[in-house]
Structure 1
């Protein structure tokens, strides 16, 4: 269990599922559907859902590209964390949002696999959280034209493989599919 004291609960993180971020994402519709089913399960199981939304000079807050995809919408009582860096914890209130809910484990979904998802996974582990990556509920776009030497499928597969072995003293990373992931830890 996480190295954070008195944090027995899990939370579902939905990272950057914004129109401009996932417009050209690999397997977009399936990933959105998987995240949608996880959000519904979390709500049914009384597991907190925390939404993360990125903005920067290329993704202006309030623009159409900045908006969450219409297939996914936060509930009225679900926090929305705005961020400006890849790691969803960096200079945000995510840690206090999770602490308020006694969360010591995050279940991570969203975009982009090789940027904000990966940075948030590492950020969680470093800060004392256990972090589960949902293997079929994260995505990225094809970045080979910018020098990334592998396809989106390979980026996703590599991230799933290495995260399944992630660990640090008193905490761990793991992966599970949408169908197999447990959202509750308490």
Structure 2
């Protein structure tokens, strides 16, 4: 599918490891995480067979620390700091790694990011332009945070965007996979574009005559 790329958002082991950090921060488990990992793995296999470029985001801490964080996030972290277990450098590094079941291949690209949007302060946009990409399939974690921020940023840059609704999730079951579209993009201009990922691979770009 010429002109299409797959963005795999923040599929990192911090979501799977039982180290007490998420509990201490008051973050519930990711809803249907095992299912989402399996769906992402199948999506990755299909995309590679179709020769669709795969680009992973990897969420990292900023060298500037709390100076680069949203003040609300800083307050939340500070209010729970005493509850967060102290992790070794090796444990912290492990939390940042890509989940093994959806690990990148040598042909895939990994870009680090420090903000919610994959486009913010990264080289994603020039990479996509260099590859002549017009359409993005977006999958990964979390629906209402980094996935949504990336979808919004992509639309602002005039990419056609399709959300793989069976390959995204977030904290708990209360927010459905297609929440970004229901809130922002169910309009005459955008339509409603979340689909199962195998449908997205067969769908032509809206720009195709």
State the TM-score, normalizing by the size of structure 1: 0.79
Aligned to 1:178: 197
Q: Does 1:154 align with 2:159?
A: no
Cα distance in 1, alignment partners of residues 45 and 184 from structure 2: 25
Contact 1:166–1:173 (Cα < 8 Å) also in 2: yes
Deviations 1:58-78 (A, max 9, x none): 8x9961111111111111021
Aligned to 1:147: none
Q: Does 1:116 align with 2:146?
A: yes
Cα distance in 2, alignment partners of residues 125 and 166 from structure 1: 13
Cα distance in 2, alignment partners of residues 116 and 27 from structure 1: 18
Aligned to 1:20: 14
Structure (1 or 2) with the greater helix fraction: 2
Higher mean C-alpha deviation, range 171-180 or range 116-125: 171-180
- RMSD between aligned residues: 2.7
Cα offset for 1:22? 5.2
User: Gaps (5+ residues) in structure 1?
Assistant: 1-7, 143-151
Structure 1 runs of 4+ aligned residues shifted over 4 Å read 183-186
Aligned to 2:109: 79
Q: Secondary structure at the match of 1:119?
A: helix
Contact 2:54–2:108 (Cα < 8 Å) also in 1: yes
Size of the alignment, in residue pairs? Answer: 168
User: Gaps (5+ residues) in structure 2?
Assistant: 18-28, 66-76, 78-88
Q: Secondary structure at the match of 1:33?
A: helix
Aligned to 1:63: 93
State the TM-score, normalizing by the size of structure 2: 0.71
Cα offset for 1:38? 0.8
